[in-house]
Amino acid sequence: MVTTEEWLLEVQRLHTASGPELNQLSSTMADQAAAPGRALGRALGEVPEVASAAKYLLLQAGPAALEGLLDLPLPEAADERAWLVDRLLEFELQTRARVRGRIMQLLDDPRWLRDPREGPFLEVYPPRRRVCDHAYVAMRELTHPEEDYVGFKVQTEQFLHAPPELKDAAIREARGSHVWNHPAPEPEDA
């Protein structure tokens, strides 16, 4: 399968398939998605003319080539190692910017997610949340990976249990300051 349409037809064909068939398809998809980047990565070790063409194609492919570069054996030459570091960072930052942009769009969606109480019985139900609440928590995790895990979980729970107007204020503050790990909002004393 090469085109998007061919992949779509295969997914549609297998939509009722068993786990092993779906696992095989996902493995094939991952291999084929990474193959161009891997080929370009291997071409970096070829003669200078081939390596030069591979570098150009890697730059043009951008983040799509990241998987191939991650699978590369480390080059011997110091300059080539530095080039690899620069490309890995560049492609990761481009990918991160795209992910961040998509999550930022979701911060505008106030629709409620399905109420957890509508699902299977749980001893303790998580709080109801909206798409924008979920996006806020994701943005916080994306932009502050150094944050202490326990602190992140505690403040996330406090945020999710806050009333919608306080969560909206926290989202506005984070968007304005570009800092997503503010303390959880607390209601003002009446």
pLDDT tens per residue, range 27-58: 888 888 888 888 888 888 778 899 899 889 98
**Predicted confidence band at 15 (pLDDT cuts at 50, 70, 90)?**
confident
Structure token digits, residue 130: 């909206």
CA distance to 40, 50, 51, 53, per residue, from 47 (Å): 13, 6, 6, 10
Domain boundaries, the chain: 4-96, 107-177
- Calculate mean pLDDT across residues 51-80: 87
Looking at per-residue pLDDT, the higher value among 35 and 140 belongs to 140
Distance CA 108, CA 99 (A): 15
Q: What is the pLDDT of residue 70?
A: 86
Q: What is the model's pLDDT at position 51?
A: 87
What percentage of residues in the chain have a pLDDT greater than 70? 97
Give me the helix-helix angle, 149-161 and 164-177, nearest 10°.
130
Q: Between 43 and 109, where is the model more confident?
A: 109
pTM of the entire predicted model: 0.77
Mean pLDDT of 125-139: 94
* Residue 154 to residue 151: CA distance in whole angstroms: 5
Q: Which phi and psi (to 5°) does residue 112 adopt?
A: -80, 140
pLDDT at 190: 47
Residue-wise burial string across 91-123, b where 16 or more C-beta atoms lie within 10 A, e elsewhere: beeeeeeeeeeebeeebeeeeeeeeeeeeeeee
Average pLDDT of the residues of the chain: 88
Task: Give the DSSP per-residue string, 74-128.
Answer: PPSSHHHHHHHHHHHHHHHHHHHHHHHHHHHHHTT--PBPPPGGGSS--SSPPPP
Pick from 38, 36, 29, 34: which is nearest to 7 by CA? 29
Strand partners, 72: none
What is the distance between the terminal CA atoms of the chain, rounded to a whole angstrom? 63
Task: Taking residues 16-26, report their average pLDDT.
Answer: 85
| 8 A C-beta contact, residue 61 and residue 37 | yes
The reported pLDDT for the residue numbered 189 is 59
The pLDDT of residue 2 is above 90 = no
Measured distance CA(186)–CA(170) in Å, rounded: 10
Cα 127 from chain centroid (whole Å):
24
